[in-house]
């Protein structure tokens, strides 16, 4: 809640700012969601400074303010946030949320640090060093999802001992700086066969870099690798609305994350690789992995399609290291607990989608070529979230002929 008023916001690991649509927002998109009433709160202070966050598609404009913000049992009495006067291209009415709560590093914040810290940093400041983490599980429905701060959800894990920890990568940044929740992505597997990736477009990176982004619906990678991926899976085609695959095509796809000795494979449910029988058109389904050459700061955006593999703990041990002398001992890190059982997931997929008697996957080895990643997103452009919006539009087009509701978003 903000100033005692309750909202639903998108929890976005691909951006840093907290903003909510205000009652001054009179555009149609704001009319369909609860908005913040500036006259119905006692602690509000308006800074008078403008806020603008530009997206690849769409934007949000408003004013920087502070008010009391609570989330679960945590309360921050003077939290900086933005009150949005206007949004465009964000489809609030379609998704039902009134704003976004960003959960990545302050380096990506549009609200200057001089106005105050991000919400998650303020909460972390009140916790013991070892409890400075948030954990989440993205389910297929509300009853199978979870978000906690400072403690694990016992439904999914009682201790962090089974998690694989991956230090956050600062590739492309000067040493010790962090912007997104980036992890080394070594290679992909398709039905247990290794699928190598083209060279990273991130300067100085020795592996591909994946950005963990809850604000992105699908998994996005460089177009050349994604094309080779679908050619390897087979029974796939590229269309105006992205890659499609025959709905009964089952592929067990793994992402191998981490550096050196700490590599671990995380396996996707075939249902996340080959999306939703309900969205099919003449037996073609939407691919859960799509091409995008505009990924900023990394090579792959590991969106919800990937993040459903299990439970994640995101720890900010020394997020303040850039501002304070080295008082803390370890870099930020991400703990991943894979929950997908490939055998059970495949059986379930087959039961729903039916058998596929065509030729098995034939993994295409890497064609040597130099990679050119276009940095179409500039500084402070939150690409992760934007891609989510683009793909939700894309999915909308895809769903429209079937007249289905976009209940997922
Ligand atoms: C937002 O709307 C309020 C009230 O109409 C106005 O005072 C303020 O200047 C606007 N801010 C921006 C940045 O447009
Ligand atoms: C965690 O502990 C509780 C209480 O003992 C138990 O009910 C729950 O199943 C445990 N969770 C896991 C993931 O093992
Ligand atoms: C992948 O392996 C599974 C299990 O053997 C099989 O059912 C499926 O058809 C394979 N998929 C492809 C694309 O080869």
What tens digit of pLDDT does each residue of 80-111 get? Answer: 999 999 999 888 999 899 999 999 999 999 99
Q: Ligand 2 centroid vs 199 CA: distance in angstroms?
A: 42
Inter-CA distances, 181 with 24, 151, 233, 301, 315, Å: 33, 19, 28, 10, 10
Residue whose CA is closest, atom 7 of ligand 3? Answer: 250
Share of the chain above pLDDT 90, in %: 63
> Is 383 or 362 the better-scoring residue by pLDDT?
362
* CA-based end-to-end distance of the chain: 21
Q: How would residue 140 be classed by pLDDT, with cut points 50, 70 and 90?
A: confident
271 alpha-carbon distance from chain centroid: 18
Q: Is the CB of 231 under 6 A from ligand 3?
A: no
Q: What is the mean pLDDT of residues 284-303?
A: 90
Inter-CA distances, 320 with 106, 122, 140, 176, 331, Å: 10, 11, 35, 11, 10
- Domain boundaries 152-353, corresponding CATH code: 2.40.70.10
Superfamily grouping for domain 9-124: Acid Proteases (2.40.70.10)
Burial (Cβ within 10 Å: 0-12, 13-18, ≥19) of residue 351: exposed
Q: What is the pLDDT of residue 142?
A: 76
Report the range out of 79-83, 145-149, 257-261, 361-365 with the highest average pLDDT.
Answer: 79-83
Q: What is the pLDDT of residue 371?
A: 41
Residues 313 and 133 sit within 8 Å (Cβ to Cβ)? yes
Q: How would residue 288 be classed by pLDDT, with cut points 50, 70 and 90?
A: very high
Atom of ligand 3 nearest to the CA of 235: 13
Q: How would residue 4 be classed by pLDDT, with cut points 50, 70 and 90?
A: very high
Share of the chain above pLDDT 70, in %: 84
Ligand at minimal distance from the CA of 52 is: 1
**Could you write out the three-class secondary structure of the chain?**
CECCECCCEEEECCCCCEEEEECCCCCHHHHCCCCECCCCCCCCEEEEEEEEEECCCCEEEEEEEEEEEEECCEEEEEEEEEEEEEEECCCHHHHCCCEEEECCCHHHCCCCHHHCCCHHHHHHHCCCHHHCEEEEECCCCHHHCEEEECCCCCCCCCCHHHCEEEECCCCCCCCCCCCCCEEEEEEEEECCEEECCCCCCCCCCCCEEEEECCCCCCEEECHHHHHHHHHHHCCEEEECCEEEEECCCCCCEEEEECCHHHCEEEECCHHHHEECHHHCECCEEEECEEECCCCCCCCEEECHHHHCCEEEEEECCCHHHHCCCCCCCCCCEEEEEECCCHHHHHHHHHHHHCCCCCCCCCCCCCCCCCCCCCCCCCCCCCHHHHHHHHHHHHHHHHHHHHCCCCCCC
- Across the chain, mean pLDDT equals 84
As a whole number of angstroms, the distance between CA 315 and CA 182 comes to 13
Neighbour tally for 270: CB within 10 Å: 22
pLDDT beyond 50 at 323: no
The boundaries of every CATH 2.40.70.10 domain in the chain are: 9-124, 152-353
Q: What is the pLDDT of residue 141?
A: 77
pLDDT beyond 80 at 379: no
Lowest mean pLDDT of 34-43, 325-334, 352-361, name the range: 325-334
Q: How would residue 297 be classed by pLDDT, with cut points 50, 70 and 90?
A: confident
> Is 297 or 37 the better-scoring residue by pLDDT?
37
| Torsion of the alpha carbons at 325, 329, 333 and 339, rounded to the nearest 10 | -160
Q: Ligand 2 centroid vs 158 CA: distance in angstroms?
A: 6
Q: Ligand 2 centroid vs 156 CA: distance in angstroms?
A: 8
Give residue-wise pLDDT tens across range 114-123: 999 999 999 9
DSSP lists the bridge partners of residue 368 as none
Q: Is the CB of 162 under 6 A from ligand 2?
A: no
Atom of ligand 2 nearest to the CA of 158: 1
pLDDT beyond 70 at 18: yes
Residue whose CA is closest, atom 4 of ligand 2? Answer: 154
Q: What is the pLDDT of residue 57?
A: 61
Residue whose CA is closest, atom 14 of ligand 1? Answer: 62
pLDDT beyond 50 at 343: yes
Residues 143 and 73 sit within 8 Å (Cβ to Cβ)? no
> Is 389 or 72 the better-scoring residue by pLDDT?
72
Q: What is the pLDDT of residue 265?
A: 95
Q: How would residue 128 be classed by pLDDT, with cut points 50, 70 and 90?
A: confident
Q: Ligand 2 centroid vs 159 CA: distance in angstroms?
A: 10
Atom of ligand 1 nearest to the CA of 51: 13
Q: What is the mean pLDDT of residues 45-51?
A: 96
Q: What is the pLDDT of residue 215?
A: 85
pLDDT beyond 60 at 252: yes
Atom of ligand 3 nearest to the CA of 361: 14
Q: Which of 252, 341, 348 gets mutated to test ligand 3 (max ligand atoms within 8 A of its CB)?
A: 252
């Amino acid at each position: 809640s903000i100033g005692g008023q309750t909202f639903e916001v998108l929890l976005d690991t691909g951006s840093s700012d907290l903003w909510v649509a205000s009652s001054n927002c009179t555009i149609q998109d704001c009319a369909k969601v609860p908005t913040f009433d500036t006259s119905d709160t006692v602690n509000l202070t308006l800074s008078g400074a403008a806020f603008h966050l530009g997206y690849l598609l769409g934007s949000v404009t408003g004013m920087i303010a502070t008010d009391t913000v609570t989330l679960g049992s945590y309360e921050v009495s003077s939290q900086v946030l933005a009150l949005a006067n206007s949004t465009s291209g964000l489809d609030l009415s379609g998704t039902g949320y009134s704003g976004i709560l960003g959960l990545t590093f302050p380096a990506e914040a549009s609200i200057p640090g001089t106005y105050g810290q991000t919400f998650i940093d303020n909460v972390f400041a009140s916790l013991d060093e070892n409890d400075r983490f948030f954990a989440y599980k993205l389910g297929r429905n509300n009853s199978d999802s979870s978000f906690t701060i400072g403690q694990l959800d016992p439904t999914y894990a009682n201790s962090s001992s089974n998690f694989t920890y991956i230090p956050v990568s600062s590739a492309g940044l000067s040493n010790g700086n962090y912007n997104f929740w980036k992890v080394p992505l070594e290679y992909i597997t398709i039905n247990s066969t290794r699928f190598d990736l083209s060279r990273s477009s991130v300067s100085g990176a020795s592996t591909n870099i994946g950005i963990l982004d809850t604000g992105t619906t699908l998994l996005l990678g460089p177009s050349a690798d994604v094309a080779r991926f679908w050619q390897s899976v087979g029974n796939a085609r590229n269309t105006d609305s992205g890659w499609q695959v025959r709905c009964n095509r089952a592929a067990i796809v793994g992402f191998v994350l981490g550096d050196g000795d700490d590599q671990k494979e995380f396996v996707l449910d075939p249902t996340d690789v080959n999306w939703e029988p309900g969205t099919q058109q003449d037996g073609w389904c939407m691919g859960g992995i799509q091409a995008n050459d505009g990924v900023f700061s990394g090579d792959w955006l590991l969106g919800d399609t990937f993040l459903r593999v299990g439970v994640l703990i995101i720890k900010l041990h020394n997020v303040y290291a850039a501002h304070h002398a080295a008082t803390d001992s370890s870099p930020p890190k991400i703990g991943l607990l894979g929950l997908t059982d490939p055998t059970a997931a495949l059986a379930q997929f087959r039961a729903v989608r039916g058998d596929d008697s065509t030729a098995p996957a034939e993994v295409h080895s890497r064609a040597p070529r130099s990679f050119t990643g276009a940095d179409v997103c500039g500084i402070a452009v939150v690409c992760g979230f934007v891609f989510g919006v683009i793909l939700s539009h894309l999915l909308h087009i895809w769903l429209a002929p079937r007249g289905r509701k976009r209940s997922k978003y």
